[in-house]
Chains A and B, each alone.
Chain A
Amino acid sequence: MSRAYLFRRTLIAIPSLLGISAIIFSILAAAPGDPFGQLVTNPNVPPAVIAQLRASLGLNQPIYLRYFHWLIAMLHGQWGFSFTSRMDVATLIMQRLPVTLAVLGSAEVIAVLIAVPVGILAAVKPYSLFDQIANTFAYVGFALPTFFTGILAILLFSVRLHWLPFVFQDHVSGTGWVWIWKEVKQSIMPIMVLALFQGAPLVRFVRSSMLDVIRLDYVTTARAKGIGKRRVLMRHVVRNGLIPVVTLVALQLPGVFGGAIVTEQIFRVPGMGSLLISALLENDTPVIMAITFVFAILVIVFNLIADLLYGWLDPRINLR
């Protein structure tokens, strides 16, 4: 991967950052309600004072200037003060973000570890029994929303079998192995629910991507040269077939955040998602804004990483 590509691709991320933040900002700007609504109707406050207040807060500036001020403040992490928890929003989010990333990350790892081999095996023998079973599972996993799988898991493993706790605890008591075991036990269900949600579309994608490569001429050539089936598959097909999967994982991300919000809410995992929901229920606007913004930034960053990875894995892309 050339340095020029790296540079160019990073530059392309800037317009999308501006675009996405502009969308969020215009939603905010279009929202009804004037912060000075109460003052305007109060006869004791002279209009001149209100005008001065507006000017001092920059509300008289043209909209694009207000947008840039807002964006710069957001990028600096000046997200304001939470109404309900009386804390700096940035501190609040930094407490929650690692939990969400850990849950999402381990779910993604499990999803990839299961979906990729299953997709490859399904593509090797299309329409075999294994393929059909894998497909059915992929369809079922796709049609099961996280809120239903979560509830089914709780019903089965917590209520009926009493194997796993259904409420995630922030501070687990115990030390050493006991502590680790308790942490693992309470993380299994949220992670598996998310892994199913992320893995199901992945199986279908890996399979079709492999099928696209398997029918190419160079694979036939490799076979004709007398290279063993296994070697052709691993060396020639899988290496090329999995490249587009990198992009898919990044493209899935906005949807995965949605799944994470729901899963955190069901299992009471103290992450960004449950913070967002409680902020919504408590009308805590600064927190809601900041979380939406952080999710948007995360999507942009991971798309950038995926594109750079793609360029590194597939040198052909630099020629364009």
Chain B
Amino acid sequence: MAGSTPASISADLPGAAAEAQTKPVSRALDAWRRFRRHRLAVVGLVVLSIIVFGVVFGKLLWPLSMSSIDFSASLAPPSLAHPFGTDDLGHDLLARMIFGGRISLAVGLAAMLIAVGLGVLVGAVAGTAGGRIDTFLMWLTDLFLALPQLPLLLLIIYLFRNTLVHFFGEEGGIFLIVVVVIGALRWMSIARLVRAQFFSLREKEFVEAARALGASRLREVIHHMLPNTIGPIIVAATIEIANAIIAESTLSFLGLGFPPDVPTWGRLLYDGRNYLDLAPQWAIFPGMAIFLTVLSISFLGDGLRDAFDPRRVL
């Protein structure tokens, strides 16, 4: 049983469907087939698509304004008029969550891009240079892993908030600082992964062949090594989106993230936590949104891990 155990733990039973393949299939199709076999990942993909669709196009389907105040309906429970209920000022919570979801997802995506960019850069330099540069970069990576992230995040935002808000406006400045700082504190796992991949790829015959044909170091990295690392990077990147969403929600929940008129999911939870007895929906719906997004992203990442590794027997 030893060799046949897939590494990803939410996969279905091994050997359940080793369908005989007669026709050669493309890499993408093969990956999709492997992904489909991972039932929870497919569920994750569906749920995530619904959330993303709702957040992006929700405004068209639910045109109620998120800032229209209606005291006659304040703290109302979910009803047909307000499917997610209302808050203390009678704001429609569904409309607010559609808007806040955009910010939360945008922060997740942007912070992930920064983390991946930094991680690939550090990992690629360490993996190709070796020697002292590698030792130093890995020391730096370990150092960043040992940083107390949330306190540091709070410290940086505290110190730099006013300057950035001054230059980029209230929302822009905070978006920028939150995204950059979360990204800058989360590149380490990707750097390690890229470096490890590069170490093994460096010795592979096809890279050696490219080198023998006179390919420059840069060409070697960009055309031969990076494309072979892309699978694991995508998997790690998915997880980073989830982490960044949690980090942003945490900041907003502590009341130290976006301003009150930007109702990110974390901010809604923060505002709703004082009304748990009167209007539990105010806290529960945003919390569920964060939970479902993060959960489906982790399942998705798990499925992608299996899909991108063609050597793994399912």
Instruction: Select one of A126, A131, A147, A261 contacting B151, CB under 8 A.
Output: A261
Determine how close the nearest CB of chain A comes to the CB of B76; give it in whole angstroms: 18
Instruction: Select one of B1, B159, B250 contacting A147, CB under 8 A.
Output: B250
User: Is B298 within 8 A of A143, CB to CB?
Assistant: yes
User: Is B148 within 8 A of A215, CB to CB?
Assistant: no
Determine how close the nearest CB of chain A comes to the CB of B42; give it in whole angstroms: 15
**Cα distance A16–B284 in the bound complex, in angstroms:** 41
User: Is B147 within 8 A of A151, CB to CB?
Assistant: no
Residue in chain A with minimal CB distance to B153: A258
At the interface, yes or no: A20 with Cβ under 8 Å from chain B? yes
**Cα distance A289–B160 in the bound complex, in angstroms:** 14
Residue in chain A with minimal CB distance to B297: A143
Q: From A77-85, A152-160, A170-178, A184-192, give the one contacting chain B.
A: A152-160
The contact string, 1 if C-beta is below 8 Å from chain B, for chain A 56-91, is 000000000000000000000000000000000000
User: Is A288 within 8 A of B155, CB to CB?
Assistant: yes
Determine how close the nearest CB of chain A comes to the CB of B292; give it in whole angstroms: 8
Classify chain A's interface size. Answer: 35 or more
At the interface, yes or no: B269 with Cβ under 8 Å from chain A? yes
**Cα distance A261–B153 in the bound complex, in angstroms:** 12
**Cα distance A262–B149 in the bound complex, in angstroms:** 13
User: Is B158 within 8 A of A288, CB to CB?
Assistant: yes
**Cα distance A151–B291 in the bound complex, in angstroms:** 13
User: Is A148 within 8 A of B299, CB to CB?
Assistant: no
Q: Using Cβ atoms and an 8 Å threshold, which residues of chain B touch A215?
A: 2-3, 5
Q: From A103-111, A231-239, A292-300, give the one contacting chain B.
A: A292-300
User: Is A31 within 8 A of B159, CB to CB?
Assistant: yes
Residue in chain A with minimal CB distance to B253: A147
At the interface, yes or no: A127 with Cβ under 8 Å from chain B? yes
**Cα distance A319–B148 in the bound complex, in angstroms:** 31
**Cα distance A159–B276 in the bound complex, in angstroms:** 7
At the interface, yes or no: A142 with Cβ under 8 Å from chain B? yes
- From known contacts A27-B159, A262-B254, A280-B256, infer whether A147 and B266 are also in contact, taking CB-CB under 8 Å: yes
Interface residues of B in 274-291 (CB under 8 A from A): 276-277, 280, 283-284, 287, 290-291
The contact string, 1 if C-beta is below 8 Å from chain A, for chain B 181-223, is 0000000000000000000000000000000000000000000
Interface residues of A in 290-320 (CB under 8 A from B): 291-292, 295-296, 298-300, 303
Residue in chain B with minimal CB distance to A136: B10
Residue in chain B with minimal CB distance to A279: B158
Q: From B22-30, B55-63, B138-146, give the one contacting chain A.
A: B138-146
User: Is A151 within 8 A of B10, CB to CB?
Assistant: no
User: Is A151 within 8 A of B269, CB to CB?
Assistant: yes
Residue in chain B with minimal CB distance to A31: B159
**Cα distance A15–B158 in the bound complex, in angstroms:** 27
Residue among A154, A207, A266, A280 with max Cβ neighbours from chain B (10 Å): A280
Q: Using Cβ atoms and an 8 Å threshold, which residues of chain B touch A163?
A: none
Residues of B within 8 A of A (CB): 1-3, 5, 7, 9-10, 13-14, 139-140, 142-143, 145-152, 154-156, 158-160, 162-163, 242, 246, 249-250, 253-256, 266, 269, 273, 276-277, 280, 283-284, 287, 290-291, 294-295, 298-299
Question: Would you list the 9 A-B pairs with minimal beta carbon distance, nearest first?
Answer: A258-B150, A215-B2, A143-B295, A295-B148, A31-B159, A148-B287, A143-B294, A147-B253, A32-B163
**27 intermolecular pairs with C-beta atoms under 8 Å apart:** A15-B139, A24-B152, A24-B155, A31-B160, A142-B298, A143-B242, A143-B298, A145-B246, A145-B250, A145-B291, A148-B287, A151-B287, A155-B283, A155-B284, A215-B2, A254-B145, A257-B150, A258-B151, A261-B151, A262-B254, A277-B256, A288-B154, A292-B152, A295-B148, A296-B148, A298-B148, A303-B146
